[in-house]
């Protein structure tokens, strides 16, 4: 994660005291959301995460404090205008049941007075962006599945291309399989649109998966830790954070990082044109009983040390052992599983059909030790 960034949303000493409540729901909260990043607000019930979110678009008015959005004081602006620049996605989706999908998506553009051609063009583009069929534009929300409705909700929030997107437990109401694919789609979408997203969730795994930074809040609206997912897992600020993220912190860290995050490692691998002497030298240097052969970037397979003979090219040696392979986008956890079940204790990185180095348990452990410099979340 880059250290210098522009702040899109800045909360300064934001407090919300509801009428008749003995303690504030959110207490002097300071929070900075970097532009173009996803920040997850998470915590137990009553931690004020939803209240915080709804103060950003002023569905709830703060009792005191300052909220700045892209340099503008949000509390000085008329609330209605402020909200038209902020996409809003909620768990119940909240699609207008009496309007077609096209009409739903066009809500904010219509309010802003776009002409019909521009609205039609935008609507068609958005439907594609969120992976829905054009035939759905004339349907009504109740004719769509929960997952499709949620996609429409995202399309509607993005309609007027707002720089900021607020999402309140957006995937809480769909089943786990749909939730997983919607999460993946959101990450792909974010690659294309680069919005500043604040996301409320109660699911730590969702936060770890989606967020660039996680704000872990405690009851009464107290911020316990604000850090990247890897930092939160590697270095919890206190016992509350430690308990909240759970016991399997190491496994979760492995789940966060991918093979691509580790530095390239050649391993005991030589070109198929190398001499047997060179092959033995590589095996000796790495303490391996196996040597891998590559030919013009492609991995050919493993050759067992005793099978390497001086009288002939390396390619004559039998390569019976199937290579354990991982992709560059596999998680380190998956890579670990593959290494554990491989006889060579090494997995070959398949970089789109080309040899991308090898990966070992030792490397994975080194990655965990070094933290986010190596394992970028």
Partner 1 sequence: MDVTLAQAALPREISLSEFLFSAELWTRDDGILDTLVDTAVLCGAVVLAATLVAVPLAAYLAHHGRGEIAVTWMVTLSRAVPTLAVAALLVPVSLRIGLGFEPWPIFIALLLLALPQIYINTYAAIRGADRGVVGAARGMGLTESAVLWRVEAALAGAVIMTSIRVAAVQVIATEPLRAFLGGDGLGRYVRDGLGQNSPSQIVGGTILIGLFAASTALAFRGAERLALPRGVTRLSSNAT
Q: Tell me which stretch binds partner 1 (CB under 8 A): 85-93, 192-200, 274-282, 317-325.
A: 85-93
* Nearest distance in Å: CB 352, partner 1: 42
Vertex 48: Cα angle to 47 and 51 (nearest 5): 165
Strand order in the sheet with 325-327: 325-327, 347-351, 354-359
**For strand 7-16 and strand 64-69, is the pairing parallel, antiparallel, or unpaired?**
antiparallel
Residues 341, 301: Cα–Cα separation, whole Å: 17
Q: Is 108 in the site for partner 1 (CB under 8 A)?
A: yes
CA 151 to chain centre: 17
- At closest approach, how far in Å is the CB of 20 from partner 1? 16
75 near partner 1, judged by CB under 8 A: no
CB of 99 to partner 1, least distance (A): 5
Smallest distance, partner 1 to C-beta of residue 117, A: 22
Give me 73's structure tokens: 């004081």
Scan residues 156-175 and list those touching partner 1 (CB under 8 A). Answer: 156-157, 166
- Say if CB 314 and CB 293 are below 8 A apart: yes
Regarding 107 and contact with partner 1 (CB under 8 A), the answer is yes
**Count of residues engaged in binding partner 1, rule: CB under 8 A:** 31
Binding to partner 1 by CB under 8 A, coded x per residue (else -) over 111-130, reads: x-------------------
Single residue of 6, 12, 13, 92 touching partner 1 by CB under 8 A: 92
DSSP state of 47: S
Q: List the end-to-end C-alpha distance of the chain, in Å, as a whole number.
A: 8
Q: Output the smallest distance, CB 106 to partner 1, in A.
A: 11
One residue of 3, 19, 45, 80 binding partner 1 per CB under 8 A = 80
Q: Which is nearer to partner 1, 9 or 245 (CB)?
A: 9
According to CB under 8 A, which residues from 55 to 74 bind partner 1? 57, 59
Nearest distance from C-beta of residue 69 to partner 1, angstroms: 14
* Contact in structure between 28 and 12 (CB atoms under 8 Å): no
Whether 197 contacts 87, CB under 8 Å: no
- The region of 44-52, 107-115, 180-188, 267-275 touching partner 1 under the rule CB under 8 A is 107-115
Among 140, 371, 374, 376, binds partner 1 (CB under 8 A): 140
Which three-class secondary structure state does DSSP give residue 48?
A: coil
Pairing of strands 38-42, 196-201: parallel
Comparing CB distances to partner 1, the nearer of 58 and 333 is 58
DSSP string, 53-108: HHHHTTSS--SEEEEEETTEETTTS-HHHHHHTEEEEETT----TTS-HHHHHTHH
Question: Cβ closer to partner 1: 147 or 372?
Answer: 147
* Two structure tokens written together for 91: 């768990």
241 binds partner 1 (CB under 8 A): no
According to the binding rule CB under 8 A, does residue 139 interact with partner 1? no
Q: Give the burial class of 376: count Cβ atoms within 10 A of its Cβ; 0-12 exposed, 13-18 middle, 19 or more buried.
A: middle
* Site pattern 19..58 for partner 1 (x: CB under 8 A): --------------------------------------x-
Among 2, 19, 20, 98, binds partner 1 (CB under 8 A): 98
Beta strands in the chain (DSSP E): 7-16, 26-34, 38-42, 64-69, 72-73, 86-90, 164-168, 196-201, 213-218, 222-227, 269-271, 290-295, 298-304, 325-327, 347-351, 354-359
State which of positions 251-310 bind partner 1 (CB under 8 A). Answer: none
Q: Which is nearer to partner 1, 144 or 326 (CB)?
A: 144
Q: Is 192 helix (H, G, I), strand (E, B) or coil?
A: helix
Distance CA 77, CA 64 (A): 16
Select from 93, 158, 186, 346 the one that contacts partner 1 (CB under 8 A). Answer: 93
Binding-site ranges for partner 1 (CB under 8 A):
57, 59, 80-86, 88, 90-100, 103, 107-108, 111, 140, 142, 153, 156-157, 166
């Amino acid at each position: 994660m880059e250290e210098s960034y522009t702040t899109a949303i800045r909360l300064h000493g934001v407090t919300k005291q509801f009428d008749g409540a003995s303690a504030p729901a959110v207490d002097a909260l300071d929070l900075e959301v970097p532009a173009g990043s996803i920040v997850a607000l998470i915590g137990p019930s009553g931690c004020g995460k939803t209240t915080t979110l709804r103060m950003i678009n002023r569905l709830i008015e703060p009792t005191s404090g300052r909220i700045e959005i892209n340099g503008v004081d949000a509390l000085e602006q008329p609330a209605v205008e402020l909200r038209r620049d902020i996409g809003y996605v909620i768990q119940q989706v909240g699609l207008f049941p009496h309007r077609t999908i096209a009409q739903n998506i066009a809500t904010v553009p219509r309010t802003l007075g776009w002409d019909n051609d521009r609205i039609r063009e935008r609507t068609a583009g958005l439907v594609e962006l969120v992976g829905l069929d054009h035939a759905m534009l004339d349907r009504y929300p109740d004719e769509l599945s929960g997952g499709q409705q949620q996609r429409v909700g995202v399309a509607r929030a993005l309609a007027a291309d707002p720089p900021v997107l607020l999402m309140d437990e957006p995937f809480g109401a769909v089943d786990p399989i749909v939730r997983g694919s919607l999460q993946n789609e959101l990450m792909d979408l974010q690659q294309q649109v680069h919005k500043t997203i604040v996301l409320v969730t109660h699911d730590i795994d969702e936060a770890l998966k989606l967020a660039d930074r996680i704000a872990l809040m405690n009851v009464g609206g107290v911020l316990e830790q604000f850090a990247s997912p890897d930092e939160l897992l590697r270095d919890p600020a206190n016992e509350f954070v430690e308990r909240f993220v759970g016991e399997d912190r190491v496994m979760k860290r492995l789940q966060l990082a991918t093979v691509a995050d580790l530095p390239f490692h050649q391993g005991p691998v030589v070109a198929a044109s190398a001499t047997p002497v060179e092959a033995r030298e590589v095996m000796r240097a790495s303490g391996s009983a196996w040597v891998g052969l590559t030919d013009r970037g492609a991995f050919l397979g493993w050759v067992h040390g005793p099978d390497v003979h001086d009288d002939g090219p390396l390619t004559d040696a039998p390569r019976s052992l199937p290579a354990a392979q991982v992709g560059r986008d596999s998680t380190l956890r998956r890579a670990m599983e593959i290494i554990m079940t491989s006889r060579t204790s090494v997995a070959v990185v398949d970089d789109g059909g080309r040899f991308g180095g090898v990966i070992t348990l030792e490397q994975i452990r080194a990655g965990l030790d070094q933290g986010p410099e190596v394992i970028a979340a």
